[in-house]
Amino acid sequence: MVNPMVIGYIGSAAAIIGFGSNYVPVKKYPVGNGLSYAFILSIGGLCVAFIAMMIHGTFVFSPIGILGGSLWAMANLLIIPIIKLVGLGLGVLLWSSIGIVVGFFSGKFGWLGLEKQIVTHDWMNWLGFVGIVISIFCFFFIKPSLEDDNNNKNVVDRFKNKKGGYIDPMDNEEFPILRGSVNSDGPIKFNKYNNNNNNGDELETSTETIFDKIPTKFKKVAGISMSIICGVLLGVNMIPMQLWKQNHQEASPFDIIFSQFAGVFLFNAFTFMFYAMIKKSPQIYPKTVFPSFISGVMWGIANCGLMISTQNLGYTVGYPISCSGPMIISSLWSVFYFHEIKGTKNLLILCGSFLFLISGIILLAFSSF
């Protein structure tokens, strides 16, 4: 029989890689306001839940799991705006760190009905928490570069015809099939020009989203604020599952995994349907469907890994490892692949942040030994 500790570390590895990389497949694809992306992602996650349920051989459907999944889905709706506003690396660093802090206080003080966790070395527990807070403070000084590809810089010029008018980009499969707006940080989205205009000289665009209207100098503030809210939601989304486990001591994390994932799916499905009803032309991008599904599968595997890790390594070991590791992975993507975090100053700040963060996580993890 495989040692539970080994299984726990395998779960942590899956969570670290999955959570740190699951947004990479869609990073360079148009996702619009993220609603259709979130819906498709939840389908991918639900498929993973079905497979996990079949492997485990049990089925438990609990309303409290639906609540936990809904909290995560709320946080996930903020992910796309955050990535567009402050970048993948800094965004994941912020919401992941804050999620760890919220989780720390929830377990430390028994928030929302949780049993208070008693650790062997309380001073080490608090010192680890302080290290994480310092690392979060350092993250504010990172200035990511969010410059788009050269193809996006003067994209409208690509649609000018020889007479100075415009060809219809809706006829080109490279672009979304439904209406949207032109966003300097996001995908290129066009409306059909007025059919009554015989010259085709004007290209009509739909109303800008609220994120398009944010002045450049306030985008980082908005992104950081959303990251804080996202982190809080992520930090408490497992509390319903923990409350359920307190009343079912012998339960496996797989017993409630389907309910958790179903909550994510139902919330996103309702949100997307409501959005489609109030907006006649929802943003749907055919080329983004498959990457979104892959992103959902990666997230689903990572979330299963988090549950397994927490179950086998404990809340003070499995949870911090699984939630802090993705920050390193996402930063590596951001530095070496997306080139969002660059420059000597930014890299030094990032290294300093990691020094405090990793030290804090280690102290938290070992405070119970």
When mean pLDDT is compared across 134-148, 192-206, 290-304, 351-365, the lowest value belongs to 192-206
Range of the domain at 40: 32-145+212-367
Residue 95 lies in a domain: yes
Q: For residues 138 and 210, what is the distance between their CA atoms, to the nearest angstrom?
A: 28
Residue 307 lies in a domain: yes
Summary mean pLDDT of the chain: 76
Residue 5 lies in a domain: no
* Highest mean pLDDT of the ranges 1-5, 238-242, 258-262: 258-262
Q: For residues 296 and 302, what is the distance between their CA atoms, to the nearest angstrom?
A: 10
> pLDDT at residue 211 above 50?
yes
> pLDDT at residue 71 above 90?
yes
Residue 18 lies in a domain: no
> pLDDT at residue 311 above 60?
yes
Count the domains in the chain.
Answer: 1
**Please, where are the H alpha helices in 140-180?**
150-153
Residue 183 lies in a domain: no
Instruction: For residue 261, give both structure tokens.
Output: 């994932």
Residue 123 lies in a domain: yes
Residue 171 lies in a domain: no
pLDDT one-digit tens code per residue, 93-133: 788 778 888 887 887 788 888 788 777 888 888 888 888 88
Q: For residues 288 and 300, what is the distance between their CA atoms, to the nearest angstrom?
A: 18
> pLDDT at residue 199 above 80?
no
Report the residue count for the chain. 369
Tally DSSP H helices, then E strands, for the chain.
13, 0
Residue 169 lies in a domain: no
**Helix or strand or coil: residue 67?**
helix
